[in-house]
Protein backbone atom coordinates (compact mmCIF):
# COMPACT_ATOMS: atom_id res chain seq x y z
CA UNK A 1 0.00 0.00 0.00
CA UNK A 2 1.46 3.43 -0.95
CA UNK A 3 2.32 6.07 1.61
CA UNK A 4 -0.87 7.33 3.14
CA UNK A 5 -1.82 10.97 3.39
CA UNK A 6 -4.23 12.15 6.07
CA UNK A 7 -6.36 15.21 6.49
CA UNK A 8 -8.45 16.25 9.47
CA UNK A 9 -11.87 17.81 9.32
CA UNK A 10 -11.48 19.59 12.65
CA UNK A 11 -8.70 20.69 14.97
CA UNK A 12 -9.75 18.31 17.72
CA UNK A 13 -10.12 15.23 15.52
CA UNK A 14 -7.15 12.96 16.24
CA UNK A 15 -5.21 12.01 13.14
CA UNK A 16 -3.88 8.47 13.38
CA UNK A 17 -2.15 6.16 10.99
CA UNK A 18 -3.17 2.56 10.52
CA UNK A 19 -1.14 -0.06 12.31
CA UNK A 20 0.87 -2.45 10.12
CA UNK A 21 -1.92 -4.99 10.57
CA UNK A 22 -4.53 -2.46 9.48
CA UNK A 23 -2.41 -1.43 6.50
CA UNK A 24 -2.27 -5.10 5.56
CA UNK A 25 -6.07 -5.30 5.90
CA UNK A 26 -6.55 -2.31 3.61
CA UNK A 27 -4.14 -3.83 1.09
CA UNK A 28 -6.05 -7.11 1.32
CA UNK A 29 -9.32 -5.25 0.73
CA UNK A 30 -7.89 -3.62 -2.39
CA UNK A 31 -6.50 -6.98 -3.52
CA UNK A 32 -9.85 -8.67 -2.96
CA UNK A 33 -11.41 -6.32 -5.50
CA UNK A 34 -8.38 -6.13 -7.79
CA UNK A 35 -10.69 -6.44 -10.78
CA UNK A 36 -12.27 -3.20 -9.61
CA UNK A 37 -9.17 -1.45 -8.32
CA UNK A 38 -7.08 -2.06 -11.43
CA UNK A 39 -9.82 -2.45 -14.02
CA UNK A 40 -12.51 0.05 -13.15
CA UNK A 41 -10.18 2.26 -11.10
CA UNK A 42 -7.88 2.51 -14.10
CA UNK A 43 -10.75 3.38 -16.42
CA UNK A 44 -11.98 6.18 -14.16
CA UNK A 45 -8.45 7.54 -13.61
CA UNK A 46 -7.71 7.54 -17.33
CA UNK A 47 -10.81 9.67 -17.88
CA UNK A 48 -9.90 12.11 -15.10
CA UNK A 49 -12.55 10.81 -12.68
CA UNK A 50 -12.05 9.81 -9.05
CA UNK A 51 -13.09 6.44 -7.65
CA UNK A 52 -12.79 5.17 -4.06
CA UNK A 53 -13.87 2.32 -1.85
CA UNK A 54 -15.90 3.86 0.94
CA UNK A 55 -17.87 3.22 4.11
CA UNK A 56 -18.62 -0.24 5.47
CA UNK A 57 -16.02 -2.26 3.50
CA UNK A 58 -13.21 0.04 4.69
CA UNK A 59 -14.47 0.04 8.28
CA UNK A 60 -14.80 -3.75 8.35
CA UNK A 61 -11.35 -4.27 6.84
CA UNK A 62 -9.85 -2.13 9.61
CA UNK A 63 -11.77 -4.16 12.18
CA UNK A 64 -10.51 -7.41 10.69
CA UNK A 65 -14.04 -8.37 9.66
CA UNK A 66 -14.98 -9.78 6.25
CA UNK A 67 -16.36 -7.14 3.88
CA UNK A 68 -19.61 -8.32 2.29
CA UNK A 69 -20.39 -5.27 0.16
CA UNK A 70 -18.36 -3.30 -2.33
CA UNK A 71 -19.40 0.34 -2.12
CA UNK A 72 -17.66 2.87 -4.30
CA UNK A 73 -17.93 6.65 -4.54
CA UNK A 74 -16.93 8.94 -7.40
CA UNK A 75 -17.07 12.50 -8.67
CA UNK A 76 -18.65 11.22 -11.90
CA UNK A 77 -22.36 11.90 -12.22
CA UNK A 78 -24.62 8.87 -12.83
CA UNK A 79 -24.82 9.30 -16.60
CA UNK A 80 -21.04 9.53 -16.76
CA UNK A 81 -20.75 6.38 -14.61
CA UNK A 82 -22.91 4.54 -17.14
CA UNK A 83 -20.66 5.70 -19.96
CA UNK A 84 -17.49 4.63 -18.15
CA UNK A 85 -18.67 1.15 -17.18
CA UNK A 86 -20.08 0.33 -20.60
CA UNK A 87 -18.12 -2.60 -21.97
CA UNK A 88 -16.50 -3.32 -18.59
CA UNK A 89 -19.45 -4.44 -16.46
CA UNK A 90 -21.18 -7.71 -17.23
CA UNK A 91 -24.50 -6.18 -16.20
CA UNK A 92 -25.78 -2.81 -15.00
CA UNK A 93 -28.92 -1.79 -13.12
CA UNK A 94 -30.22 1.67 -12.41
CA UNK A 95 -32.85 1.17 -9.71
CA UNK A 96 -31.10 3.72 -7.47
CA UNK A 97 -29.98 6.14 -10.17
CA UNK A 98 -32.31 8.89 -8.90
CA UNK A 99 -30.21 8.84 -5.72
CA UNK A 100 -26.94 8.82 -7.66
CA UNK A 101 -26.28 5.06 -7.46
CA UNK A 102 -25.50 2.68 -10.30
CA UNK A 103 -25.34 -1.07 -9.62
CA UNK A 104 -22.84 -3.27 -11.45
CA UNK A 105 -21.84 -6.90 -11.74
CA UNK A 106 -18.42 -8.07 -12.91
CA UNK A 107 -18.00 -11.85 -12.87
CA UNK A 108 -19.00 -12.85 -9.31
CA UNK A 109 -18.52 -9.38 -7.89
CA UNK A 110 -21.50 -7.11 -7.22
CA UNK A 111 -20.90 -3.45 -6.43
CA UNK A 112 -22.54 -0.06 -6.26
CA UNK A 113 -21.02 3.19 -7.50
CA UNK A 114 -22.50 6.38 -6.04
CA UNK A 115 -21.76 9.95 -7.06
CA UNK A 116 -20.36 12.23 -4.34
CA UNK A 117 -23.47 13.67 -2.86
CA UNK A 118 -25.18 15.48 -0.09
CA UNK A 119 -28.72 14.46 0.72
CA UNK A 120 -31.12 15.91 3.21
CA UNK A 121 -34.75 15.75 4.24
CA UNK A 122 -37.03 18.75 4.27
CA UNK A 123 -38.88 18.94 7.59
CA UNK A 124 -41.89 16.88 6.47
CA UNK A 125 -40.51 14.82 3.59
CA UNK A 126 -40.04 11.04 3.66
CA UNK A 127 -37.66 11.15 0.67
CA UNK A 128 -34.22 12.76 0.62
CA UNK A 129 -33.31 15.57 -1.73
CA UNK A 130 -30.09 14.67 -3.54
CA UNK A 131 -27.41 17.09 -4.74
CA UNK A 132 -24.12 15.97 -6.36
CA UNK A 133 -20.67 17.07 -5.25
CA UNK A 134 -17.17 17.13 -6.71
CA UNK A 135 -14.97 16.58 -3.64
CA UNK A 136 -14.59 13.38 -1.63
CA UNK A 137 -14.26 15.21 1.69
CA UNK A 138 -17.53 17.01 1.05
CA UNK A 139 -19.08 13.60 0.42
CA UNK A 140 -17.55 12.01 3.51
CA UNK A 141 -18.70 14.80 5.81
CA UNK A 142 -22.26 13.85 4.85
CA UNK A 143 -21.75 10.26 5.94
CA UNK A 144 -23.51 9.04 9.07
CA UNK A 145 -20.52 8.36 11.35
CA UNK A 146 -16.79 8.93 11.22
CA UNK A 147 -16.12 5.19 11.22
CA UNK A 148 -18.08 5.05 7.96
CA UNK A 149 -16.45 8.20 6.56
CA UNK A 150 -13.14 6.61 5.58
CA UNK A 151 -12.20 5.78 2.01
CA UNK A 152 -9.48 4.14 -0.10
CA UNK A 153 -8.77 5.80 -3.43
CA UNK A 154 -8.48 3.52 -6.46
CA UNK A 155 -6.37 2.43 -8.17
CA UNK A 156 -3.51 3.77 -5.99
CA UNK A 157 -4.86 2.56 -2.62
CA UNK A 158 -4.52 5.88 -0.75
CA UNK A 159 -6.29 5.84 2.63
CA UNK A 160 -8.51 8.89 3.23
CA UNK A 161 -9.63 9.75 6.78
CA UNK A 162 -10.41 13.46 7.13
CA UNK A 163 -12.62 13.19 10.23
CA UNK A 164 -10.71 10.90 12.60
CA UNK A 165 -12.66 7.75 11.84
CA UNK A 166 -9.71 5.51 12.58
CA UNK A 167 -9.27 7.06 16.04
CA UNK A 168 -12.97 6.58 16.78
CA UNK A 169 -12.78 3.01 15.48
CA UNK A 170 -10.00 2.26 17.95
CA UNK A 171 -11.91 3.94 20.76
CA UNK A 172 -15.13 2.11 19.90
CA UNK A 173 -17.06 5.38 19.65
CA UNK A 174 -19.75 6.47 17.21
CA UNK A 175 -19.28 10.11 16.32
CA UNK A 176 -20.60 12.12 13.38
CA UNK A 177 -18.21 13.86 10.93
CA UNK A 178 -20.01 17.16 11.46
CA UNK A 179 -22.58 18.31 14.02
CA UNK A 180 -24.85 15.38 14.95
CA UNK A 181 -27.85 17.72 14.77
CA UNK A 182 -27.06 18.39 11.11
CA UNK A 183 -26.47 14.72 10.39
CA UNK A 184 -29.74 13.59 12.00
CA UNK A 185 -31.61 16.41 10.32
CA UNK A 186 -30.21 15.39 6.93
CA UNK A 187 -31.39 11.82 7.48
CA UNK A 188 -33.31 10.98 10.68
CA UNK A 189 -32.84 7.25 10.06
CA UNK A 190 -29.27 7.77 11.25
CA UNK A 191 -30.71 7.91 14.77
CA UNK A 192 -31.75 4.28 14.34
CA UNK A 193 -28.46 3.47 12.64
CA UNK A 194 -26.63 4.74 15.71
CA UNK A 195 -28.28 2.24 18.03
CA UNK A 196 -27.98 -0.48 15.40
CA UNK A 197 -24.23 0.04 15.05
CA UNK A 198 -23.90 0.08 18.83
CA UNK A 199 -25.49 -3.39 18.91
CA UNK A 200 -23.66 -4.61 15.84
CA UNK A 201 -20.16 -3.36 16.61
CA UNK A 202 -20.29 -3.07 20.40
CA UNK A 203 -19.56 0.67 20.21
CA UNK A 204 -20.77 3.44 22.49
CA UNK A 205 -22.34 6.71 21.37
CA UNK A 206 -20.36 9.91 21.81
CA UNK A 207 -22.17 12.10 24.39
CA UNK A 208 -23.12 14.71 21.79
CA UNK A 209 -24.49 12.00 19.49
CA UNK A 210 -26.61 10.50 22.27
CA UNK A 211 -27.92 13.94 23.23
CA UNK A 212 -28.84 14.81 19.65
CA UNK A 213 -30.54 11.44 19.17
CA UNK A 214 -32.61 12.02 22.29
CA UNK A 215 -33.54 15.57 21.30
CA UNK A 216 -34.40 14.67 17.69
CA UNK A 217 -36.00 11.23 18.07
CA UNK A 218 -39.34 12.62 16.92
CA UNK A 219 -37.79 13.18 13.47
CA UNK A 220 -38.04 9.41 12.95
CA UNK A 221 -41.76 9.89 12.39
CA UNK A 222 -41.06 11.18 8.86
CA UNK A 223 -39.02 8.10 7.88
CA UNK A 224 -40.85 5.33 6.00
CA UNK A 225 -41.85 2.21 7.92
CA UNK A 226 -39.82 0.06 5.52
CA UNK A 227 -36.55 1.87 6.30
CA UNK A 228 -37.26 1.73 10.04
CA UNK A 229 -38.00 -1.99 9.73
CA UNK A 230 -34.77 -2.70 7.86
CA UNK A 231 -32.68 -1.06 10.59
CA UNK A 232 -34.63 -2.89 13.30
CA UNK A 233 -34.00 -6.21 11.56
CA UNK A 234 -30.25 -5.54 11.41
CA UNK A 235 -30.30 -4.56 15.08
CA UNK A 236 -32.14 -7.71 16.14
CA UNK A 237 -29.82 -9.95 14.11
CA UNK A 238 -26.72 -8.28 15.58
CA UNK A 239 -24.54 -9.97 18.23
CA UNK A 240 -26.05 -7.89 21.05
CA UNK A 241 -29.64 -6.77 20.32
CA UNK A 242 -30.24 -5.97 23.98
CA UNK A 243 -27.71 -3.13 23.80
CA UNK A 244 -29.60 -1.56 20.90
CA UNK A 245 -33.04 -2.00 22.48
CA UNK A 246 -31.86 -0.45 25.74
CA UNK A 247 -30.46 2.54 23.86
CA UNK A 248 -33.73 2.91 21.97
CA UNK A 249 -35.62 3.08 25.26
CA UNK A 250 -33.08 5.29 27.08
CA UNK A 251 -32.93 7.82 24.23
CA UNK A 252 -36.67 7.95 23.61
CA UNK A 253 -36.37 6.31 20.18
CA UNK A 254 -38.53 3.27 20.97
CA UNK A 255 -41.87 5.18 20.94
CA UNK A 256 -41.33 5.77 17.21
CA UNK A 257 -40.33 2.19 16.44
CA UNK A 258 -41.66 -0.25 19.05
CA UNK A 259 -43.75 1.86 21.45
CA UNK A 260 -44.90 -1.26 23.30
CA UNK A 261 -41.41 -1.93 24.70
CA UNK A 262 -40.96 1.09 27.02
CA UNK A 263 -44.51 0.49 28.28
CA UNK A 264 -43.25 -2.80 29.74
CA UNK A 265 -41.51 -0.79 32.47
CA UNK A 266 -44.49 -1.23 34.77
CA UNK A 267 -44.46 0.70 38.01
CA UNK A 268 -43.88 -1.65 40.91
CA UNK A 269 -44.78 -0.63 44.44
CA UNK A 270 -44.39 -2.34 47.81
CA UNK A 271 -47.96 -3.62 47.77
CA UNK A 272 -48.04 -5.08 44.26
CA UNK A 273 -44.92 -7.08 43.64
CA UNK A 274 -44.17 -8.64 40.29
CA UNK A 275 -41.26 -8.97 37.92
CA UNK A 276 -40.02 -5.98 36.00
CA UNK A 277 -41.55 -7.00 32.66
CA UNK A 278 -39.13 -4.84 30.65
CA UNK A 279 -36.03 -6.37 32.25
CA UNK A 280 -37.61 -9.81 32.06
CA UNK A 281 -38.25 -9.41 28.32
CA UNK A 282 -34.66 -8.36 27.65
CA UNK A 283 -33.42 -11.32 29.66
CA UNK A 284 -35.66 -13.67 27.70
CA UNK A 285 -34.22 -12.19 24.50
CA UNK A 286 -30.68 -12.79 25.77
CA UNK A 287 -31.49 -16.36 26.84
CA UNK A 288 -33.25 -17.15 23.55
CA UNK A 289 -30.14 -16.01 21.67
CA UNK A 290 -27.98 -18.16 23.92
CA UNK A 291 -30.15 -21.23 23.26
CA UNK A 292 -30.29 -20.41 19.57
CA UNK A 293 -26.49 -20.48 19.45
CA UNK A 294 -26.07 -23.56 21.66
CA UNK A 295 -28.44 -25.50 19.40
CA UNK A 296 -26.41 -24.53 16.35
CA UNK A 297 -28.98 -22.21 14.75
CA UNK A 298 -28.25 -19.11 12.72
CA UNK A 299 -29.58 -15.76 14.06
CA UNK A 300 -33.36 -16.13 13.88
CA UNK A 301 -35.41 -12.96 13.36
CA UNK A 302 -38.75 -14.62 14.16
CA UNK A 303 -37.48 -16.11 17.42
CA UNK A 304 -35.84 -12.87 18.53
CA UNK A 305 -38.92 -10.79 17.75
CA UNK A 306 -41.12 -13.27 19.65
CA UNK A 307 -38.77 -13.22 22.65
CA UNK A 308 -38.80 -9.42 22.75
CA UNK A 309 -42.57 -9.10 22.26
CA UNK A 310 -43.88 -12.15 24.12
CA UNK A 311 -45.14 -10.15 27.13
CA UNK A 312 -46.27 -6.91 25.44
CA UNK A 313 -49.86 -7.76 26.36
CA UNK A 314 -49.14 -7.49 30.10
CA UNK A 315 -49.60 -3.73 30.55
CA UNK A 316 -53.10 -3.94 29.03
CA UNK A 317 -54.14 -6.96 31.07
CA UNK A 318 -52.63 -6.11 34.45
CA UNK A 319 -55.11 -6.41 37.31
CA UNK A 320 -54.64 -6.14 41.08
CA UNK A 321 -56.16 -8.74 43.33
CA UNK A 322 -56.12 -9.32 47.06
CA UNK A 323 -52.96 -9.74 49.13
CA UNK A 324 -50.94 -7.67 46.70
CA UNK A 325 -51.37 -10.22 43.90
CA UNK A 326 -51.02 -9.03 40.31
CA UNK A 327 -52.50 -10.93 37.37
CA UNK A 328 -52.12 -10.70 33.61
CA UNK A 329 -54.92 -12.97 32.44
CA UNK A 330 -54.90 -13.72 28.71
CA UNK A 331 -51.91 -11.47 28.09
CA UNK A 332 -50.66 -13.96 25.51
CA UNK A 333 -53.83 -13.52 23.45
CA UNK A 334 -53.71 -9.74 23.72
CA UNK A 335 -49.97 -9.76 23.04
CA UNK A 336 -50.38 -11.85 19.90
CA UNK A 337 -52.88 -9.31 18.54
CA UNK A 338 -50.62 -6.40 19.47
CA UNK A 339 -47.61 -8.10 17.85
CA UNK A 340 -49.53 -8.65 14.64
CA UNK A 341 -50.63 -5.01 14.55
CA UNK A 342 -47.16 -3.58 15.28
CA UNK A 343 -45.28 -5.80 12.83
CA UNK A 344 -47.84 -5.14 10.12
CA UNK A 345 -47.44 -1.40 10.66
CA UNK A 346 -43.67 -1.86 10.23
CA UNK A 347 -44.32 -3.65 6.92
CA UNK A 348 -42.86 -7.00 7.95
CA UNK A 349 -43.63 -9.87 5.55
CA UNK A 350 -46.88 -11.70 6.27
CA UNK A 351 -45.13 -14.94 7.20
CA UNK A 352 -42.98 -13.15 9.80
CA UNK A 353 -46.05 -11.42 11.25
CA UNK A 354 -47.95 -14.70 11.41
CA UNK A 355 -45.09 -16.72 12.94
CA UNK A 356 -44.20 -14.15 15.60
CA UNK A 357 -47.81 -13.60 16.68
CA UNK A 358 -48.35 -17.38 16.81
CA UNK A 359 -45.33 -17.85 19.08
CA UNK A 360 -46.54 -15.06 21.36
CA UNK A 361 -49.97 -16.71 21.55
CA UNK A 362 -48.44 -20.12 22.33
CA UNK A 363 -45.69 -19.13 24.75
CA UNK A 364 -47.72 -19.96 27.91
CA UNK A 365 -49.14 -23.27 26.70
CA UNK A 366 -46.32 -25.30 28.26
CA UNK A 367 -47.05 -24.06 31.76
CA UNK A 368 -50.04 -26.40 31.99
CA UNK A 369 -47.68 -29.34 31.65
CA UNK A 370 -46.86 -29.42 35.35
CA UNK A 371 -44.82 -32.50 36.22
CA UNK A 372 -45.73 -34.34 33.06
CA UNK A 373 -49.45 -34.85 33.71
CA UNK A 374 -50.33 -34.23 30.07
CA UNK A 375 -51.67 -37.22 28.19
CA UNK A 376 -50.12 -38.22 24.90
CA UNK A 377 -53.06 -36.56 23.15
CA UNK A 378 -52.29 -33.25 24.89
CA UNK A 379 -48.66 -33.52 23.83
CA UNK A 380 -49.78 -34.24 20.26
CA UNK A 381 -52.01 -31.17 20.25
CA UNK A 382 -49.19 -29.01 21.61
CA UNK A 383 -46.90 -30.13 18.82
CA UNK A 384 -49.61 -29.92 16.17
CA UNK A 385 -50.58 -26.39 17.18
CA UNK A 386 -46.94 -25.29 17.04
CA UNK A 387 -46.42 -27.00 13.69
CA UNK A 388 -43.22 -25.79 11.99
CA UNK A 389 -42.66 -23.34 14.88
CA UNK A 390 -42.12 -26.17 17.38
CA UNK A 391 -38.34 -25.79 17.73
CA UNK A 392 -38.70 -22.04 18.16
CA UNK A 393 -41.44 -22.59 20.73
CA UNK A 394 -39.14 -24.94 22.66
CA UNK A 395 -36.45 -22.25 22.76
CA UNK A 396 -38.85 -19.42 23.63
CA UNK A 397 -40.48 -21.44 26.41
CA UNK A 398 -37.13 -22.35 27.95
CA UNK A 399 -35.88 -18.76 27.61
CA UNK A 400 -39.00 -17.49 29.40
CA UNK A 401 -37.73 -18.95 32.66
CA UNK A 402 -35.92 -16.10 34.42
CA UNK A 403 -36.53 -17.11 38.03
CA UNK A 404 -33.63 -16.82 40.46
CA UNK A 405 -34.98 -19.76 42.42
CA UNK A 406 -32.54 -22.51 41.44
CA UNK A 407 -34.84 -25.32 42.55
CA UNK A 408 -37.75 -23.97 40.54
CA UNK A 409 -35.54 -23.35 37.50
CA UNK A 410 -34.17 -26.89 37.66
CA UNK A 411 -37.69 -28.34 37.92
CA UNK A 412 -38.82 -26.33 34.88
CA UNK A 413 -35.76 -27.45 32.95
CA UNK A 414 -36.55 -31.09 33.70
CA UNK A 415 -40.12 -30.57 32.52
CA UNK A 416 -38.88 -28.97 29.29
CA UNK A 417 -36.56 -31.91 28.77
CA UNK A 418 -39.42 -34.31 29.38
CA UNK A 419 -41.89 -32.78 26.95
CA UNK A 420 -39.23 -32.51 24.23
CA UNK A 421 -38.39 -36.17 24.79
CA UNK A 422 -42.05 -37.19 24.58
CA UNK A 423 -42.63 -35.16 21.44
CA UNK A 424 -39.56 -36.70 19.83
CA UNK A 425 -40.74 -40.21 20.71
CA UNK A 426 -44.25 -39.58 19.42
CA UNK A 427 -42.88 -37.96 16.28
CA UNK A 428 -40.67 -40.95 15.61
CA UNK A 429 -43.56 -43.35 16.13
CA UNK A 430 -46.23 -41.44 14.28
CA UNK A 431 -44.54 -38.84 12.07
CA UNK A 432 -46.23 -36.17 14.16
CA UNK A 433 -45.81 -33.37 11.64
CA UNK A 434 -47.99 -35.29 9.14
CA UNK A 435 -50.81 -36.44 11.40
CA UNK A 436 -53.97 -37.21 9.48
CA UNK A 437 -57.16 -39.10 10.40
CA UNK A 438 -57.21 -42.80 9.58
CA UNK A 439 -59.84 -42.12 6.89
CA UNK A 440 -59.69 -39.42 4.22
CA UNK A 441 -62.58 -37.37 2.83
CA UNK A 442 -63.38 -39.76 0.00
CA UNK A 443 -63.50 -42.74 2.36
CA UNK A 444 -65.77 -40.81 4.75
CA UNK A 445 -68.21 -40.08 1.89
CA UNK A 446 -68.17 -43.69 0.76
CA UNK A 447 -68.72 -45.18 4.22
CA UNK A 448 -71.53 -42.75 5.11
CA UNK A 449 -72.93 -42.68 1.57
CA UNK A 450 -72.98 -38.88 1.48
CA UNK A 451 -71.74 -36.32 -1.00
CA UNK A 452 -69.33 -33.41 -0.52
CA UNK A 453 -70.47 -30.88 2.06
CA UNK A 454 -70.02 -29.59 5.62
CA UNK A 455 -70.87 -32.99 7.14
CA UNK A 456 -67.72 -34.45 5.60
CA UNK A 457 -65.65 -31.71 7.27
CA UNK A 458 -67.32 -32.35 10.64
CA UNK A 459 -66.66 -36.07 10.36
CA UNK A 460 -63.05 -35.46 9.34
CA UNK A 461 -62.43 -33.19 12.36
CA UNK A 462 -64.01 -35.78 14.66
CA UNK A 463 -61.69 -38.48 13.33
CA UNK A 464 -58.71 -36.14 13.68
CA UNK A 465 -59.55 -35.59 17.35
CA UNK A 466 -59.78 -39.35 17.82
CA UNK A 467 -56.44 -39.74 16.07
CA UNK A 468 -54.84 -37.19 18.39
CA UNK A 469 -56.44 -38.77 21.43
CA UNK A 470 -55.74 -42.42 20.65
CA UNK A 471 -52.92 -42.46 18.16
CA UNK A 472 -53.27 -44.62 15.02
CA UNK A 473 -56.57 -46.54 15.09
CA UNK A 474 -56.53 -48.47 11.84
CA UNK A 475 -59.25 -48.25 9.19
CA UNK A 476 -61.53 -50.84 10.74
CA UNK A 477 -61.72 -49.15 14.15
CA UNK A 478 -61.95 -45.71 12.52
CA UNK A 479 -64.85 -46.87 10.35
CA UNK A 480 -66.70 -48.18 13.39
CA UNK A 481 -66.08 -44.91 15.26
CA UNK A 482 -67.22 -42.89 12.23
CA UNK A 483 -70.49 -44.80 11.96
CA UNK A 484 -71.15 -44.37 15.68
CA UNK A 485 -70.54 -40.64 15.39
CA UNK A 486 -72.77 -40.38 12.30
CA UNK A 487 -75.61 -42.22 14.02
CA UNK A 488 -75.62 -39.57 16.74
CA UNK A 489 -74.89 -36.46 14.71
CA UNK A 490 -76.23 -37.14 11.23
CA UNK A 491 -79.50 -38.89 12.07
CA UNK A 492 -82.26 -38.01 9.65
Least confident of 6-20, 200-214, 358-372, 443-457: 6-20
pLDDT at 120 over 70: no
Cα–Cα distance between 441 and 454 in angstroms, integer?
11
* Mean pLDDT along residues 452-477: 88
**Residues 148 and 123 sit within 8 Å (Cβ to Cβ):** no
Cα–Cα distance between 383 and 378 in angstroms, integer?
9
pLDDT category of residue 126 using cuts at 50, 70 and 90: low
Q: Per residue in 474-487, pLDDT tens? A: 899 999 999 999 98
Q: Per residue in 235-245, pLDDT tens? A: 999 999 999 99
* Mean pLDDT along residues 260-287: 78
Least confident of 68-82, 284-298, 402-416: 402-416
pLDDT at 131 over 50: yes
Q: Please give the domain boundaries of the chain with CATH numbers for all domains.
A: 1-171 (3.30.460.10), 179-257 (1.10.110.30), 267-434 (1.10.3210), 441-489 (no CATH)
pLDDT at 301 over 80: yes
Residues comprising the chain, all counted = 492
Environment class of 235 (CB within 10 Å of its CB; exposed 0-12, middle 13-18, buried 19+): buried
Looking at residue 4, its pLDDT comes to 35
**Residues 373 and 423 sit within 8 Å (Cβ to Cβ):** no
* Mean pLDDT along residues 244-251: 97
pLDDT at 488 over 50: yes
Quote the strand ranges of 169-295, DSSP E: 173-174, 204-205
Report cis status (omega within 30 of 0) of the bond before 155: yes
Looking at residue 267, its pLDDT comes to 53
Query: Which residue, 122, 149, 9, 228, is CA-closest to 130?
Result: 122
Least confident of 55-69, 160-174, 219-233, 385-399: 55-69
Query: Which residue, 38, 288, 268, is CA-closest to 154?
Result: 38
Query: For residue 448, what are the CA distances in angstroms to 438, 443, 452, 481, 485?
Result: 15, 8, 11, 12, 11
Which DSSP symbol is given to 475?
Answer: H
H or E element that contains 464: helix 454-470
Question: Which is higher by pLDDT, 450 or 249?
Answer: 249
Q: Per residue in 40-84, pLDDT tens? A: 999 999 999 999 999 998 999 888 887 777 899 999 999 999 999
* Mean pLDDT along residues 353-371: 89
Looking at residue 14, its pLDDT comes to 47
* Mean pLDDT along residues 420-446: 80
**Residues 126 and 224 sit within 8 Å (Cβ to Cβ):** yes
Q: At what angle do helices 376-386 and 406-430 cross, to 10 degrees?
A: 90
State which of 5-14, 135-144, 353-362 shows the largest mean pLDDT: 353-362
Q: State whether residue 344 is helix, strand or coil.
A: helix
Looking at residue 430, its pLDDT comes to 63
pLDDT category of residue 432 using cuts at 50, 70 and 90: low
pLDDT at 441 over 80: yes
**Torsion sign (Cα): 189, 195, 201, 205:** positive
* Mean pLDDT along residues 312-322: 86
The CA R_g of the chain, rounded to the nearest whole Å, is: 29
Question: Which is higher by pLDDT, 168 or 327?
Answer: 168
pLDDT category of residue 257 using cuts at 50, 70 and 90: very high
* Mean pLDDT along residues 422-435: 72
* Mean pLDDT along residues 421-448: 81
Question: Which is higher by pLDDT, 40 or 368?
Answer: 40
pLDDT category of residue 473 using cuts at 50, 70 and 90: confident
Q: What is the pLDDT of the chain when averaged over all its residues?
A: 87
Looking at residue 13, its pLDDT comes to 46
Amino acid sequence: MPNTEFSSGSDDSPVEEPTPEQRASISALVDSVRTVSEGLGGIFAAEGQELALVGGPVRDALLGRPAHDVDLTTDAVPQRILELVEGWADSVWTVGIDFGTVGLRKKNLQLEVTTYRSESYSPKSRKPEVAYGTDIEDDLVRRDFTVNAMAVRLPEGEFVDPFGGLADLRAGVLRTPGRPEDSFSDDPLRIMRAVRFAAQLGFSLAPEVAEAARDMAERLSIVSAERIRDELVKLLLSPDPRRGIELMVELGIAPYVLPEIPKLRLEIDEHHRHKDVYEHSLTVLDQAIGLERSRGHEPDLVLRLAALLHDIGKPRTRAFEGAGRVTFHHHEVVGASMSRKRLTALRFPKDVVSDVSSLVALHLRFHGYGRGEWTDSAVRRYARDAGPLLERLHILTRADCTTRNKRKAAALSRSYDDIERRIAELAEQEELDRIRPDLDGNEIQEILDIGPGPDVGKAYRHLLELRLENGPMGKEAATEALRAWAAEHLAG
